[in-house]
Structure 1
Amino acid sequence: MPNRSDTLSNLDRISHITDVHPRKPLADNDYEDQLETASEVSLDEELTKIKILTSVPSQLRSRPNGVVDNGLKQLDNLQLERIFASILVKNNVREQRAKRAEGNFKSNFADITSKPVVHSIFDAPYFKNSEFYGFYILFWLGTGFLFLQDILHNYFHAETTIFSGPVFAIFSTGLIKIAFTDLMMYLTIYFAYFIQYLCSQGWIQWYTSGWILQSVYEGLYTVFWILFVSNSVMKDQWIGRVFLVLHLFVLLMKMHSYAFYNGYLWSILRELQFSEKYLTRLQNREAELPDGYSVEYTRKLLLSSIAFSKFELLHQSGLLEQAKEKNVLEKDSYVLCGELVKFPGNVNIKNFFNYTMYPTTVYELVYPRTKKIRWKYLFEKLCALFGVIFLMLVVAEHSIYPLVQKCNDMRTKNLSSYDKAVFFLLTLFDMIPPFMMEYLFVFHLIWDTILNAVAEVSQFADRDFYGPWWSCTDWSEYSRLWNKPVHRFLLRHVYHSSISALNVSKLWATLLTFTISSIVHELVMYTIFGRLRGYLFYFQMGQIPLVLLSRSRFMRGKKVLGNVICWFGFVSGPAIICTLYLVY
């Protein structure tokens, strides 16, 4: 290994990181920043795991007598130029990023550096102490009285209750079958863990066969479960089908993030191990130089590779502060992974199970955790869960279901285009009020109630599930704030990955992200109506020209108009899409 002065001169940037911060303890006393270590095995077991990993590419092993391994000679002759060319390209990209970051290294997964949010907006003290909190209370009181009025009239005049209606019958039908299907969907994502386990044991390599197996499985997983849910779950149980398909895509995102995040770390670890071993052999004059490389240039390139690899592993483990400690940066990959870095010790069943329980779609080595479960808070969320579901059933029963029946009856008649257009217009305006209520209820149910309840049970401290989307002035802002867990996944694994892996521009990466999101939304509609029409796909893609309009000179500085346009879309969009699928 290089001497201390050379190492420190090349790794100095790690210990002076100013723009990347590890997670710090939260201000709230109920929270802490420590994730239970994914692997509780001893140091010897950790080192054994690393040695197993590195023993597979035997081309890099040295003989006991110091003679150069024939495998290394073969590597020099056949693969060395390609390996160094890859390291050189990566190093150039890293240097360009470092220049933009004032000389500091910049991680390929820099999205883990954001500080965790202790409270969602509606639970935050600043919201409850604001001057507008009374409107929040007024909304729920007004909603409660409106629904109470409807329920009482139906009970005393029609002598019926919500529990005897057709919507509740659909909702409560086949719950055991739905639960079993959901369990099977969950268990089958453990294939991603199995692939990573094989990589950790050295039986397969991620960048030769692991990523191919994972990608093929993800495609088969998606197609199989969409077809199964659409054709095998009860025909009339569209509520259950929607739940299963939505959860299917959540599980798919979790599986993909776990696999390809760890796959990236495998490449970093292998690069670090290669650079360390080759640098040692270079200093001992046991390795040949690739064509066109001088000894000094090769040495600097390897040191730069080692520096970034150690930075990345420490950064992903939330341990950049430890880089300032004495002798930390001089430790080789074996000791570093055994004593500090969470990877690859995180590849175990306990860590994967915990990750699948967290309300997040992006995998990380370290998550902020709470010290305890607040049972009172959890009880409030559970009450809100059942309360909002009840309100949604009332709206669907009394306002939406009759309109759906009218549309089904209309489809059996041979109406002219004009009559169908008039019917569509009248049905649309009847649909807008109840769909607006359902839209707000769905948001509150999923992002404020369910995700917070799951986070509380799993002691997941980051509650940044949504932002103030109701104040958006353009659709790009809305897409970032409405559903932050999915936005983070798309940003990391679609947008940034397409730029780095496919070498496309930001514009094409944006188009690809919108296209994938639109296809997923259209598949959800397919499971409901059993037919592909593409209406939701086109509406989703239609957000792109709206984003361009919001950034035009005409809309510059017109925040009120921008918010009005957004709210017009929030109010009318879901009703328009549903009515199109019902009528045409």
Structure 2
Amino acid sequence: MADLEALHRPALTSKDTLDAPQLVGKLGEDGIAALKSHHSVGSDGLTFRADQERTETRDFVTSAAAIGEEDDSDDTLEDYDELEIDPDTLIANLRGMDDTMSATTGAQPSMSDGVGNTLGQLDTGPNGRHKKRGSIQIRLEKTDQKGRYTLTADDPEIRSILRKGIEREQLEASNKKPRTRFRDLVFTRQFTTFDRQNPASQDSPFFGFFTLFWIALVLLFLQVSLKNWREYGSVLGEQEIMKMMFSHDVWVLGITDAVMCAACFEGYLFQVLVRKGYINWGRGGWILQNIWQSAYLAAVIGWAYFREWPWMHTIFAVLHGLVFVMKQHSYAFYNGYLSGVYRRRALLEQRLQLLQVMEPMNSPPTSPSTSQHLELPLSSGVDFGDLVASPDGTALKRRPSMGQRTSTNLETEKSDVASVAQAIESGYPIDLDQKQTFERVIKAEIEDLTRELQGKSQGGAINKSYPHNLRLANFAEFISFPTLVYELEYPRQERINWWYVLEKATATFGVLCVMMVISQAFIYPAVLKTVRMKEAGMPIEERWREFPFIVSDMLFPLLIEQLLTWYLIWECILNLIGELTRFADRGFYGDWWNSITWDQYARDWNRPVHNFLLRHVYHSSISTFHLSRNAATFVTFLLSALVHEMVMALLFKKVRGYLFWMQLLQMPLVAFSRSKLLKGRVVLGNVTFWLGLFVGPSFLTSLYLVI
């Protein structure tokens, strides 16, 4: 085995290693390992031990999709689709270890699983699957202090692992969190679960139940239609619902929707003014945008209320108005944020130009005042010794402290970048080494800001980065896309499948017909009964006695209508719009029917709204108003509950608050589902979820109708 391992390990260039069979210890922030000899060697010559103080094991197949979870990376807070193996786990997950691994050394120090593979690359087996990595080649060199050694590695990936560990511990020690980006979501090509284009839908073991569901609905539709034809001479019965839909203000509703859509372009014009410098987004521009959005929503609600439309017209106008408000908000706040990033980059580019034309002063290379510490004016506090280049001259010893990405007040900002910029502005004499270091600091920040301005655009395309994205066509595309979160670029299809468009259009009208027949046959009679009880002056006590029977009458029809409404919007209409606009990310929902908690259902049944609330309510509450995660979660639920209650108030022409309090009740239910009583009990959690979804709509609707 030793000969086999030797074939896989290149010879070490350094002979300054130890003869001890094994060393254990901790790696310090300065890159120096404090080690001691350890002799409990396993059968394969290696020892792994748990040390939870130093290394954390991360599950690299789990995404941070839940509200309140935070990712350690700087690029994303919530990635549904671009999950990659974290290099940290390449060590921490070998051979079923718990948390960490101690360094072992022999004639040639290495960390191995006994197979002899080098941990610098992944080996591929005959079935195409990746094998586990085998060993890492490291080097321990003596220092002038007893028991302390410099740990190095030739593999750049291993160096990256060590660097990330040190940086993470520095953040933990200073109680600082890694910088997070505004662009926290990932859009990728994908299909909805029930789409026939999704191979997984046809390979599902429950495919037959999906077929059975639609056969049962078609048979129910035929049964009710035949009964209506025999009694009323029409498949829709007395057609009360059809008459309400098409007998009042249909053209006015269409014109209203067109006006709402046209008014959204205020967001584009507003951002053009921000880009040209007429409006400063950070100093009041965002307040003006919020005032406009509030006025917009108030106008939509007021118009729908005073027109006294039927409930279908009202719900359509208000919900579509809410969609337009969320689109305006996302477009304005993302581009407003990027405008601050753009202004900061321009300011730093000016400082860089000033630095490049500065003549460095001549200074003896051994002078401690020039090689170790620069006393900058304005009490900047930049330690030149901490910012020196690495031996290869390509990186800083530590990444300098960066300020907020949108900050342009470098005089008051507390960061290394701001201090360097102040020193450049002051014209204070610096030597050549200091000039080169300052240049690297500013260039590093400029590169980071440039990546932020490029967003998720593939390859950092200049024509799609800010401010080149501020085009009328770009805004018009976003308004038409089936998403509520603005990005500089989305995955697109190459062409439109018109047969698919025809399929989804036919499915849309077909589902509408089924819903109309079920509503006319099963829901309308129960609603009419409650209206007649009120018109007859029936006392509240007698209406309460009828309440259980009304709930029972509407249990099954309301559940079917709820399922069909969801399928109509998130499977038929959104896929239809996505195909017409060549929008390739069809992740409009997750497998919410398998939910075991209410927060899981809230995330999965309506992904577009969830993504909006996650970015613009939850994370914005934390970053802007410095709320805790629990407080931000409460604010998110509160806003959602208020919007739902507003819709019910418009629908029933009264404010009762039943849905509002039921929405807020989800928070203690979520906490209860995570308790020891329900945690890990998947079947019980799913049964509880379906009981709530089954009884809840009928119970709430009956409350609004009876009381």
The TM-score by the shorter chain falls in which range? Answer: 0.7 to 0.9
How far apart in 2 are the matches of 1:575 and 1:345?
A: 50
Is 1:178 aligned to 2:253, yes or no?
Answer: yes
Contact 1:98 1:106 in 2 (8 A): no
SS in 1 for 2:572: helix
Q: 1:415 to 1:115 in 2, by over 3 A?
A: same
| Deviation at residue 371 of structure 1 after TM alignment | 0.7
SS in 1 for 2:495: coil
Deviation by residue 1:387-445 (Cα, 9 ceiling, x = unmatched): 11111111111111111111111113444444222111110111111101100110100
Is 1:375 aligned to 2:498, yes or no?
Answer: yes
| Deviation at residue 340 of structure 1 after TM alignment | 6.0
Partner of 1:291: 378
Is 1:264 aligned to 2:326, yes or no?
Answer: no
SS in 1 for 2:378: coil
Report matched runs for 1:97-116 at 5 Å: 107-116=180-189
Q: How many residues are paired up?
A: 476
How far apart in 2 are the matches of 1:411 and 1:115?
A: 52
Please tell me the residue identity of whatever aligns with 2:340: S
SS in 2 for 1:359: coil
How far apart in 2 are the matches of 1:448 and 1:546?
A: 28
Partner of 2:313: 240
Partner of 1:311: 451
Please tell me the residue identity of whatever aligns with 1:150: V
Is 1:562 aligned to 2:685, yes or no?
Answer: yes
Partner of 1:254: 327
Partner of 2:302: 227
Q: 1:160 to 1:502 in 2, by over 3 A?
A: same
User: Higher relative contact order at CA 8 Å, sep ≥6: structure 1 or structure 2?
Assistant: 1
Among all aligned residue pairs of Structure 1 and Structure 2, give the percentage whose two residues are the same amino acid. Answer: 37
Report matched runs for 1:124-523 at 5 Å: 124-162=198-236, 164-173=238-247, 174-234=249-309, 237-282=310-355, 284=357, 291-293=378-380, 296=384, 297=416, 298-299=419-420, 302-319=442-459, 339=462, 342-523=465-646
Partner of 2:371: none
Please tell me the residue identity of whatever aligns with 2:581: S
How far apart in 2 are the matches of 1:555 and 1:104?
A: 32
Q: 1:116 to 1:284 in 2, by over 3 A?
A: same
How far apart in 2 are the matches of 1:143 and 1:459?
A: 31
How far apart in 1 are the matches of 2:170 and 2:204?
A: 42
| Deviation at residue 96 of structure 1 after TM alignment | 7.4
Higher helix share: 1
Please tell me the residue identity of whatever aligns with 1:511: F
Unaligned runs of 5+ in 2: 1-72, 83-166, 360-374, 385-415, 421-437
Please tell me the residue identity of whatever aligns with 1:506: R
Contact 1:241 1:528 in 2 (8 A): yes
| Deviation at residue 107 of structure 1 after TM alignment | 4.5
Partner of 1:329: none
| Deviation at residue 19 of structure 1 after TM alignment | 7.0
How far apart in 1 are the matches of 2:171 and 2:526?
A: 60
SS in 2 for 1:157: helix
Please tell me the residue identity of whatever aligns with 2:613: L
| Deviation at residue 275 of structure 1 after TM alignment | 1.8
How far apart in 1 are the matches of 2:670 and 2:615?
A: 21
SS in 2 for 1:465: coil
SS in 2 for 1:371: coil
How far apart in 2 are the matches of 1:190 and 1:570?
A: 38
Q: Which range moves more in the overlay, 370-379 or 204-213?
A: 204-213
Deviation by residue 1:29-86 (Cα, 9 ceiling, x = unmatched): xxxxxxxxxxxxxxxxxxxxxxxxxxxxxxxxxxxxxxxxxxxxxxxxxxxxxxxxxx
Q: 1:289 to 1:345 in 2, by over 3 A?
A: farther
Q: 1:353 to 1:292 in 2, by over 3 A?
A: same
Contact 1:373 1:457 in 2 (8 A): yes
Normalised to the residue count of structure 2, the TM-score between the two structures is 0.64
How far apart in 1 are the matches of 2:506 and 2:169?
A: 48
Please tell me the residue identity of whatever aligns with 1:293: S
Deviation by residue 1:194-223 (Cα, 9 ceiling, x = unmatched): 101112223222222321221110111111
Q: 1:421 to 1:114 in 2, by over 3 A?
A: same
Deviation by residue 1:120-166 (Cα, 9 ceiling, x = unmatched): 44432111122211111111111111110111011113333317511
Contact 1:97 1:106 in 2 (8 A): no
Q: 1:405 to 1:195 in 2, by over 3 A?
A: same
| Deviation at residue 291 of structure 1 after TM alignment | 2.0
How far apart in 1 are the matches of 2:613 and 2:332?
A: 15
| Deviation at residue 114 of structure 1 after TM alignment | 4.9
How far apart in 1 are the matches of 2:216 and 2:191?
A: 29
Deviation by residue 1:299-319 (Cα, 9 ceiling, x = unmatched): 356455324312312344343
SS in 2 for 1:467: coil
Q: 1:250 to 1:163 in 2, by over 3 A?
A: farther
Q: 1:182 to 1:388 in 2, by over 3 A?
A: same
How far apart in 2 are the matches of 1:581 and 1:96?
A: 53
How far apart in 2 are the matches of 1:156 and 1:416?
A: 37
Q: 1:106 to 1:451 in 2, by over 3 A?
A: farther
Contact 1:98 1:104 in 2 (8 A): no
Please tell me the residue identity of whatever aligns with 1:187: A
